[in-house]
Amino acid sequence: MLQQAETHEEILNKLRKIVGNEWVSDFPEELLLYSYDMTEHPPSNPDFIVMPKSVEEIIEVVKLANEYKIPIVPFVTGNNIGGLTIPLKGGIVLDLKRMDRILHLNEDDMYIIIEPGVTFGHLKKFLKDTNFRYNYPNAPPFASVMANALLSGLNNLSLRYGCMSEVINGIEVVLPTGELVKIGTCMCWDKHWWGRGPQPDLLGLFINWQGMTGIVTKMALQVWPKKPFRDWKFILSNDLAKTYEIVRKLARSDIMNDILLMSVETIKMVLGIPYGQAVHLEGEPHWATTLDFSANTKKEYEAKWEFIKDTFKELKEVDPKAVLSSVQGAAKMYGQKFAEFTNLPFTIGSMLEYGGCTWVGTYMTTNIDTIVKGVKIAFDIIEKHGFEKCLYTRMMKGGHYFAFRFLLRFSKEEEEEVERMRKLNKELFENLYELGAFPYKTPAWAAEEIIKRCDPNWVNLMHKIKKTLDPNGIFNPGRWGVE
């Protein structure tokens, strides 16, 4: 407990006055639920769970937290896979699920305005009968759209548009001192949320800060026109360097929505092969690539398909056993579950059902030699620690950068296994950082390692910004090396 019993009761009563009795809890069983996530990060209990319904309530809670100097950690569903909502210093977990309205769809400038609790499931349903599509991760449908954008998520149109923070048009945010600020064109006009320029772009003060500088209460995100023709193809191959070469060529061709290159172990895991058994068997192909593309006309579709087939021939010359098929064709072989890739969001149950799931997810260069070296180094480390080699990679923004990550399942029942996973992640970080790979959704321990290695003036600037915005240090303390 952070506070003496009397102070605790005092805060509890004041919180109840702000949001209503039933939306505050300090029951140990409920605190426990917010003290951990699916990762290997050690748990830490909050003191209160608070579920506000409005911006005004959030402002009042923030003022109260300043008065008592207690931490606040914004939370929607805790599915970030980086331990980012574990309240490292206790305090209030501010669960924003009740603020779940989609406030507007602007069809002229193609954006939506949402509240923090809007999930991918909500959004998919909302857009179903419109002419617009969104950019979905492989995350469960109940994860937060806004939190995914704030964390620079990588989604299934990220090859076209980049990571998700790049498609934010503007935000409304409660600062740690309780002021409400608008960023983007909405700072001038309530009804115009079409962009962030040409004024100084202050959005960076809130992106990837993991709730350390503000609680975002509204966000405008771009949506894109649905195309009448959309298709998915599937490649199985063995030559990693050549496969990445054609993946990069296709990425640069500007004709694709998305290209995912995974190890065959990842496909097995997604298909539901039990934990510990998603391994490569002799004679099987090693690499699986999904290709997603769309078109406005049949002619455009056919031209794109021709280009894909021609590019695949280059792979086939070097890797004669490589095969190219439709996703439906592959689904006949692997089962219908495989085709769910084409219908995001969906829950990859087999990733979550063993209690533990983690990753070192990074953004890095698209240089083929570096990527192939990275895969080799990482596979050796994963094998040494006895886990499944589930590689999951994507070219980003037309091939300007690369998402390089592993989806690692483990059992949380054995402390020894959890400890082994911690060691594995640390080793992955150390080796991949040397190759220029930067961990996204950066866990606290990785942020501390980066701070030891990076430009000290960057660290000083970050501390200055944090101190200016949050003089009492109450927003998600303990992250990015800031207490």
Ligand X SMILES: Cc1cc2nc3c(=O)[nH]c(=O)nc-3n(C[C@H](O)[C@H](O)[C@H](O)COP(=O)(O)OP(=O)(O)OC[C@H]3O[C@@H](n4cnc5c(N)ncnc54)[C@H](O)[C@@H]3O)c2cc1C
Residues in contact with ligand X by CB under 6 A are 73-81, 84-85, 96, 116, 137-140, 143-144, 146-148, 150-151, 153-155, 210-211, 215-216, 348, 351-352, 476
Q: In terms of CB distance, is 111 or 209 closer to ligand X?
A: 209
Least Å distance, CB 180 to ligand X, is: 13
Burial of 253 (0-12, 13-18, 19+ CB in 10 A): middle
Least Å distance, CB 390 to ligand X, is: 11
Distance separating alpha carbons of residues 195 and 188, to the nearest angstrom: 11
Q: In terms of CB distance, is 163 or 322 closer to ligand X?
A: 163
Q: Please say whether the beta carbons of 120 and 143 come within 8 A.
A: yes
Which of 56, 66, 96, 91 is closest to 177 using CA atoms? 66
Least Å distance, CB 387 to ligand X, is: 16
Q: In terms of CB distance, is 242 or 441 closer to ligand X?
A: 441
C-alpha to C-alpha distances, 3 to 35, 46, 62, 68, 208, nearest whole angstrom: 17, 12, 17, 9, 30
What is the rounded radius of gyration, in angstroms, for the C-alpha atoms of the chain? Answer: 23
Q: In terms of CB distance, is 304 or 478 closer to ligand X?
A: 478
Q: Please say whether the beta carbons of 68 and 3 come within 8 A.
A: yes
Whether residue 176 is preceded by a cis peptide bond, meaning omega within 30 degrees of 0, is: no
Distance separating alpha carbons of residues 211 and 441, to the nearest angstrom: 12
Q: Please say whether the beta carbons of 437 and 362 come within 8 A.
A: yes
Least Å distance, CB 16 to ligand X, is: 22
Least Å distance, CB 155 to ligand X, is: 6
Q: Please say whether the beta carbons of 247 and 289 come within 8 A.
A: yes
Least Å distance, CB 167 to ligand X, is: 12
Q: In terms of CB distance, is 292 or 319 closer to ligand X?
A: 292
Which residue minimizes CB distance to ligand X? 153
Distance separating alpha carbons of residues 274 and 289, to the nearest angstrom: 22
Least Å distance, CB 208 to ligand X, is: 9
Residue carrying structure tokens 């150390």: 430
Q: In terms of CB distance, is 218 or 389 closer to ligand X?
A: 218
Q: In terms of CB distance, is 37 or 239 closer to ligand X?
A: 37
How long is the chain?
A: 483
Least Å distance, CB 150 to ligand X, is: 5
Least Å distance, CB 75 to ligand X, is: 5
Q: In terms of CB distance, is 106 or 155 closer to ligand X?
A: 155
Q: In terms of CB distance, is 163 or 315 closer to ligand X?
A: 163
The three-state secondary structure class of 380 is: helix
Q: Please say whether the beta carbons of 117 and 138 come within 8 A.
A: no
CA angle 311, 376, 404 (to 5 degrees): 65
Tokens of 17: 């006055």
Q: Please say whether the beta carbons of 330 and 234 come within 8 A.
A: yes
